[in-house]
Structure 1
Amino acid sequence: MRDYPVILCEPFLHFLLPSGMMDKTDGRDRRMAQYYMLYKPRGLLTAKRDARRETVMSCFPEALREMLHPVGRLDRDTEGLLLFTDDGMLDVRLLRPEQHVEKEYEYRAFGLLDETAMRQLEEGVLLLEGQPPSLPARAQLLAHTSIGESAPYLPERFREKYLKNPARPVTAGKLWITEGRKHQVKLMIKAVGGHVFYLKRLAIGPVRLDEALRPGEYRPLTAEELAALMPPATSGGGTAGA
């Protein structure tokens, strides 16, 4: 009798081992699936490969580059938590809209956004004409500051230009969303009068970016993080988190 829960997911059977790794088999082979977090630096494209631009896969050794793929994406100028795996069920668990997995972001934006703007973000705002508004979110105003005080967060290629007006107002805040539309956080902030120049993802669901990692560094997920991301199936045999 097994002493660990079984998650039934077609076309694979996933066994959550005591170590927290997933033993994956399709009846032909048997190997350990891989799960990593990367502190994605700004400037890298989220893709397996690209003919012209450096991708996030350059942060990994060659053996892992061939094996892993990014779960979801971050814009090229966005930094923070990005997960990697060779297990397609993690993509299903985190990326399908019906799963409502919350992502936490920290941003800095030109403009003075107030509590009214925070309420608008929480209620939902129109992102693009002809599209439905954003789903309800959580928003937190952290501080009102200035370009001069925000110099470390400025994009390097625009830093000299922006610092010519060091008193220009800046809003620092956090946003928690459950959708994954293209440029969503930037468009939400734009809808309430701001312009994002710095964006960092801090968490995906229960998994937070390891504060010990520096941009470009990665580590395997822990057993506890895996268990939180892929909880055991219910007794009814459904997929975890469905």
Structure 2
Amino acid sequence: MRLDQFVSQASGIPRSETPKLIRAGRVSVNGVALRKASTHIDPTAQVLFDAEPLSLPGSIYLMLHKPAGVISATEDPSHRTVLDLIDHPHRHTLHVVGRLDKDTTGLLLITNDGEWSHRLMSPKHHIPKTYLASLAEPLTQSAAQQLRDGVQLHGEKHLTQPATVEVLPEQQVRITIHEGKYHQVKRMFAAVGNRVVALHRESIGGLQLDPQLAEGEWRVLDGFVL
């Protein structure tokens, strides 16, 4: 593991700022001051920053109720990101698991566990994701059946995997998919001649969005494994 990566993850200091701290001799590894940020170290080594011990934080799992108007990214020069909503000491080590469109609300997971997020988003694991969609027009029975059977998305070679579709009052539909194609839910409804006017993710796998979380709020998932 690179020294600057270790210092950033262990301290919560942005990685872009750690090289100058290392060059200043403020970081030592096993009693030796190292001044090269790219030096590779054993993560179990004794690392001191200003004579105070540093240790990696371990796996972090967060649940966020994403509001509309923020983007699913770690940083952006012109838009507010979901990480701007997270007040966590190791915020700069975190990344977003998958993404939700800027105008989509609901459950978003954030972590520092790269292997876990890859496994969660990999299509081969078929993790179900459930959305509540508000539509421009009522969904017909035939259109609902098309979604259940799989539809052809524009630009795609294969049909979507079968979806679970529950038609609700007031032109709402609860839909569960097992893939994660770009704008998939919106494109699926477009493929059957309808349009999504609002979209909200309710769950991923067996994890439901905490109803106590208001939009923009988050909480830690202790010992969480999905």
TM-score of the pair, normalised by structure 2: 0.74
> How far apart are the structure 2 equivalents of 1:53 and 1:31?
28
**1:167-206 superposed matches below 5 A:** 171-206=171-206
Indicate if the aligned counterparts of 1:47 and 1:55 stay in contact, CA closer than 8 A.
yes
- Which of 72, 76, 79 pairs up with 1:50? 76
* 1:194 match: secondary structure: coil
Higher strand share: 1
* 1:50 match: secondary structure: coil
Displacement over 3 Å in runs of 4+: none
> How far apart are the structure 2 equivalents of 1:130 and 1:85?
30
Indicate if the aligned counterparts of 1:126 and 1:191 stay in contact, CA closer than 8 A.
yes
Gaps of 5+ in 1: 1-25, 146-170, 230-242
Indicate if the aligned counterparts of 1:125 and 1:188 stay in contact, CA closer than 8 A.
yes
Moved more, 69-78 or 111-120: 111-120
Indicate if the aligned counterparts of 1:113 and 1:193 stay in contact, CA closer than 8 A.
no
Count residues in correspondence: 175
Residues 157-193 of structure 1 deviation map (CA, whole Å, 9 limit, x = unaligned): xxxxxxxxxxxxxx20111001101100001011112
**1:79-228 superposed matches below 5 A:** 79-143=105-169, 145=170, 171-223=171-223, 226-227=224-225
> How far apart are the structure 1 equivalents of 2:72 and 2:142?
34
Query: How far is 1:27 from its partner?
Result: 5.3
Match of 2:36 in 1: none
TM-score of the pair, normalised by structure 1: 0.69
Residues 30-57 of structure 1 deviation map (CA, whole Å, 9 limit, x = unaligned): 5421100000000001111111111111
Gaps of 5+ in 2: 1-40, 45-55
Indicate if the aligned counterparts of 1:41 and 1:79 stay in contact, CA closer than 8 A.
yes
Q: Which structure has the greater CA radius of gyration?
A: 2
Query: How far is 1:64 from its partner?
Result: 3.4
* 1:203 match: secondary structure: strand
* 1:63 match: secondary structure: coil
Query: How far is 1:135 from its partner?
Result: 1.0
> How far apart are the structure 2 equivalents of 1:92 and 1:62?
22
Q: Percent identity?
A: 38
RMSD: 1.6
> How far apart are the structure 2 equivalents of 1:94 and 1:62?
22
